[in-house]
Amino acid sequence: MISAFSVLGGFAGAGFAWIIVVAAAGNSSRSRGNELVAGSIPLLQLGGALGFVAGFMFAWFLFKNRPARAQAEVEQKYIGNRGRWRIYAGFPMFFVALITMLGYQTLEDQVGVRSALYIGVLVLMVIVGISLYLADRIPRSLLIPVGLLGWMLLIGFGCWYFWFGPGSGGRH
């Protein structure tokens, strides 16, 4: 759990740093903006490292060894039911993204745009329905780890897809 929060914190920190770089580059002249973006790797590394440390510290506080009742109280206070469901949402979102990125274009070519949209909504509803069914049967203590695994797989798959896979448009 601690490592999952650390990795997600690192991704969030790098993403936040990238937003700062792009905002600064957008407010600069074109040549200065290009220089800023080209030299932004150290800032992205710093943002990722700070996010990793922040995620580690937060997870260490949340999930350190304590009695089960005290752990449940801490999770309820800092994560809550809404947070637990938002984290668990990573489980179905990974499958939605996987099917969308790898199969939607083929489906659209086979059945047409309108039919593909309806089939896509049907698949989304089935995935969400299955995940809700499983959420009632998965032990409550495993909802957060399963969701974190889903989010990490989603981020990793998205990075692969857009950097090296079919979504890169041959730019690799």
Provide the pLDDT confidence category of residue 170 given band limits of 50, 70 and 90: low
The least confident of 6-10, 12-16, 37-41, 115-119 is: 37-41
Question: What pLDDT, on a 0 to 100 scale, did the predictor assign at position 49?
Answer: 93
Query: Alpha helices, DSSP H only, in the chain?
Result: 2-26, 30-38, 41-63, 68-78, 80-88, 90-111, 113-137, 140-163
pLDDT at 172 over 60: no
* pTM over 0.95, yes/no: no
Instruction: Report pLDDT for 171.
Output: 59
d(CA 38, CA 139): 47
- Give tens-digit pLDDT for 52-107: 999 888 888 877 787 878 877 877 888 888 888 888 888 999 999 988 888 888 88
pLDDT at 18 over 70: yes
Per-residue pLDDT tens for 128-164? 999 989 888 888 778 888 888 898 889 888 888 888 8
The residue among 28, 49, 50, 51 whose CA lies nearest residue 38 is: 28
Backbone φ and ψ of 88, nearest 5°: -65, -25
